[in-house]
Amino acid sequence: MQTLSRLERMHGHLALDFTLKQQRTRLMVREHRPPLQVVRDFGLADGTSFVHLHNVAGGVLAGDQLTTTINLAASTKAQLTTTSSTRIYRSDGEQVAYQAVQANLAEHSLLEYWPDTTIPFAESVYQQQTRIDLADDAGLCWWEFLAPGREAYGERFAYRRLRLDCDIYALGRPLLLDRMRLQPSLQQLNNPLYFGNYSYLATGYICRVGLDAGLWKALEAELMAFAASQTKLGRCLWGVSCLAAHGLVIRGLSSNSRDLLATAFEYWRFAKQALYGTSPNLPRKIY
Amino acid sequence: MPSGGDFWLGYTGVMMLNPALAQLKLLQLADSALPIGSTAHSYGVESLVAEGQLGVAGLGQFLHAFVQESGQLEAYLAYQAWRLADVSAFDQAWLDLNDQAAAFKPARESRHASAVLGRRLLSLALQLEPLPRWHQASSLAQTQQIETHHSCVFGMVAAGLRIEAEAMLVALLQQMTLSLILACQKILPLGQVQAQQLLWQLHPSIQAVVAQTPSTSFADLVPCSIGLDGASMRHPLLGTRLFIS
């Protein structure tokens, strides 16, 4: 049985290169190993390459090691999304379900990442490491959504351990080191230092390297006004803050996932208009 | 500046300040009355209280988690700064450490508070004892236009005074926790005795964080305070505010 479970572990890998051809961004899948897969990219009207990231296993199992590298060449634009929620399955022992993403954004490129919610099942052990490197004038809109478990199934913070890191570097210097370890057996996650009375977490990172600090302060004020309009005590809390330079971070806590997903896109609508003078392309699943 | 007779050989083999003298200096630097503005900040706690998320009843658990999470980060930064005391390539290491300190603080107001307190502590320390390394750090901040964060400065100042790392870390976390408790006293019905009891009960948590700090690496560092960070981000929205952050 133990041998069988070893055989079932996956070392999936996906390497995506985005290059510029005739003013349009095209995807080249340099490597893909199951369960990670990309079928093709779709060219959007503004030249953006739109890509669905598939995990044909339907989730991440204990012992899986899945890695994705994303390289955007200069002046390319890519939008990535997942095809469904990322399910993190239970771990029988101390086996960790592991995913890592490394994104390198060259000068004047733009990456938009709209994943579905990560759902850690009861008894799961999961580690996710994301590292994003931004060159001069590179732009980023990156979201992460985390559920407390399968709530409809009665699971809330029933996972064993989660570690979620997102380290963003701009011009080689750390811009944001956003890391969390959630371990319900050691932490009381209903403590207001963590989730309080809320269950779902959304985090968005919006960056464009090299823009003036005054612009970020103005955008923070605009997004804060929106955050205030969307904050409803007992249901949903939002906060927005400038980073030390080059961007801002948005954080939402909610008692349900729908509030977070719908509102997150509105932040990017405001921000993309301010940063690029254009409207974002609405992924079909966001209404 | 300390004279030759003020030193003794510490257990780490490094020349340390005479214990009593070191303790005196630490007591002064870690005093909540030190005029660097630490009592003007709540780091988002004011928002949590205003939103009804935090009351006196849950304060003990909240502070315990605060020490575990934020304490872990601040102790790491202070310890790394302390270790830079005799490093020859100080400039880049100091810039990198303060970059990291800023990057670990997503909420602007809390990050700014840390930077302001750091700048004021360094300025005050220079007026107490103008050590060359402190001048170097101060000059770097000006020429490179970087923020110098409170815990980094605290660790560097302690190292300059040849204060043992463990004593420095205990003092830093005690000061940090006490500042937050004092802030809570202004916005919650928290009495003097109850406040002291809370702090007293946190000593094992402080001790645990201090004990693990020397073996904590950059990769291990996972300070998680998503609720408090979000509250700090919402702090500018409060109609009436007692605190800057």
Q: Which of A174, A193, A224 sits opposite B65 (nearest CB)?
A: A193
Q: Is B171 among the domain residues?
A: yes
**In whole angstroms, what separates CA B29 from the centre of its chain?**
11
Q: What per-residue string of b and e applies to A217-251 under the rule 16 or more CB within 10 Å gives b?
A: eebbebbbebbeebbeeeebbbbbbbbbbbbbbbb
Q: What is the pLDDT of residues A112-152, one digit of tens each?
A: 999 999 999 999 999 999 999 999 999 999 999 999 999 99
Q: Is B46 among the domain residues?
A: yes
Q: Residue B163: which domain range?
A: 38-237
Among chain B residues, CA nearest to A229:
B237
Segments in chain A below pLDDT 70? 1-8, 284-287
Strands A13-21 and A65-72: parallel
**pLDDT at B15 (0 to 100):** 55
The amino acid present at B120, given as its one-letter code, is: R
Mean pLDDT, chain B, as a whole number?
92
8 Å CB contact between A241 and A224: no
Is the model's pLDDT at B194 over the cut of 60?
yes
Q: What is the pLDDT of residues B35-63, one digit of tens each?
A: 998 888 999 999 999 999 999 999 999 99
CA-nearest of B94, B203, B217, B92 to B155 is B94
Mean pLDDT confidence for B159-171: 94
Q: Is B98 among the domain residues?
A: yes
- Could you count the other beta carbons within 10 Å of the beta carbon of residue A121? 19
Q: Across the interface, do B233 and A239 touch by the CB < 8 Å criterion?
A: yes
Q: State the pLDDT confidence band at B32, using cuts at 50, 70 and 90.
A: confident
Instruction: For residue B207, give how far its alpha carbon lies from the nearest alpha carbon of chain A (Å).
Output: 17
Is the model's pLDDT at B9 over the cut of 80?
no
Q: Is B244 among the domain residues?
A: no
| Residue of A161, A175, A193, A207 best to disrupt the B interface, most CBs of B under 10 A | A193
Q: What is the CATH number of the domain that holds B48?
A: 1.10.4190.10
Q: Which of B58, B107, B224 sits opposite A182 (nearest CB)?
A: B224
Task: Say how far apart CA B19 and CA B196 lie, in whole Å.
Answer: 26
Q: Across the interface, do A191 and B236 touch by the CB < 8 Å criterion?
A: no
8 Å CB contact between B123 and B150: no
**In whole angstroms, what separates CA A183 from the centre of its chain?**
20
**pLDDT at B172 (0 to 100):** 97
Q: Is B19 among the domain residues?
A: no
**pLDDT at A8 (0 to 100):** 67
B187 by DSSP, 3-state: which? helix
8 Å CB contact between A96 and A62: yes
Q: Across the interface, do A193 and B69 touch by the CB < 8 Å criterion?
A: yes
Residue B51 sits at the chain A interface (C-beta within 8 Å): yes
Mean pLDDT confidence for B231-235: 96
For chain B, what is the domain count? Answer: 1
**pLDDT at B5 (0 to 100):** 59
Is the model's pLDDT at B141 over the cut of 90?
yes
CA-nearest of A172, A14, A173, A13 to A80 is A14
Q: Which comes out higher in pLDDT, residue B176 or A262?
A: B176
Please count the residue pairs, one from chain A and one from chain B, whose beta carbons lie less than 8 angstroms apart.
Answer: 112
Q: Which residues of A touch B234 (CB under 8 A)?
A: 227-228, 231, 237-239
8 Å CB contact between B243 and B46: yes
CA-nearest of B177, B186, B208, B198 to B60 is B198
Is the model's pLDDT at B14 over the cut of 90?
no
**pLDDT at B11 (0 to 100):** 44
Instruction: For residue A90, give how far its alpha carbon lies from the nearest alpha carbon of chain B (Å).
Output: 23
B65 half-sphere exposure, CB direction, 13 A CA radius: 25
- Could you count the other beta carbons within 10 Å of the beta carbon of residue B137? 28
DSSP-assigned letters across all residues of B89-132? SHHHHHHHHHHHHHHT--SHHHHHHHHHHHHHHHHHHHHH---H
**Widest distance between CA atoms in chain A:** 60
Residue B162 sits at the chain A interface (C-beta within 8 Å): no
The interface predicted TM-score of the complex, written ipTM, equals 0.94
Q: Residue A132: beta bridge partners?
A: A103, A168
Q: Which of B54, B111, B227 sits opposite A253 (nearest CB)?
A: B227
Q: Is B16 among the domain residues?
A: no
Task: Say how far apart CA A173 and CA B103 lie, in whole Å.
Answer: 9
Q: Is B7 among the domain residues?
A: no
φ, ψ of residue A27 in degrees (nearest 5): -95, 135
B27 by DSSP, 3-state: which? helix
DSSP letter assigned to residue A277: S
**pLDDT at A1 (0 to 100):** 44
Task: Say how far apart CA A16 and CA B226 lie, in whole Å.
Answer: 31
The amino acid present at A141, given as its one-letter code, is: C
Q: Across the interface, do A191 and B221 touch by the CB < 8 Å criterion?
A: no
Both tokens of residue A158? 């029933």
Instruction: For residue B196, give how far its alpha carbon lies from the nearest alpha carbon of chain A (Å).
Output: 21
